Amino acid sequence: MTELLKKPDLVLLIDDDDAVNMLNTIILRKSGLADNIVAVQSGEKGLEALSEFLTENKWPGIIFVDINMPGICGWEFIERFKKDFVQFKEKCLICVLSSSLDPRDRENAKNSDMVDSYLSKPLSIDVVTSLGKKYSQLI
């Protein structure tokens, strides 16, 4: 990434698959987009992390959330985000990251006022670079 782009101070990964979180963390670091990456394994842990970030006076610039997770799925996480954290939405991108082949998931993401991107797993350097440009325009 070029140094002219504003990088997020923090990225949050929410996926119940540790291997996916590890791979995406490597890709994010390799791309140069983010140095501070927090990965959690559930929607509930994602909501807890957001609350904790607020108490520490920090906020993720990009949130990646898997759709299909046990407990609080990605869609429920997004609804809870909208209910509890909507005032912070202008400070971040929310990206649905999924391996789902269900076209309804892509359509739900497209129709959501909270979702900025629908991405297929795993992340790639090109996708992350593109998100970095999108984030830079947000800030």
Residue 40 main-chain phi, psi, to 5 deg: -130, 160
| pLDDT attached to residue 30 | 93
CATH homologous superfamily of 11-138 equals Response regulator (3.40.50.2300)
| pLDDT attached to residue 4 | 60
Query: pLDDT tens digit string along 20-45?
Result: 999 999 999 999 988 899 999 999 99
Above 60 in pLDDT, residue 18? yes
3-state secondary structure of 76: helix
Query: pLDDT tens digit string along 69-128?
Result: 999 999 999 999 999 999 999 999 999 998 888 889 899 999 999 999 999 988 999 999
The mean per-residue pLDDT over the stretch 43-49 comes to 98
State pTM to two decimals.
Answer: 0.93
CB 66 within 8 A of CB 87: no
pLDDT category at 136 given cuts 50, 70, 90 is confident
Above 50 in pLDDT, residue 1? no
| pLDDT attached to residue 45 | 97
Domain assignments of the chain as residue spans, ordered by start = 11-138
Note the helical H segments in 7-99. 18-31, 43-55, 74-85
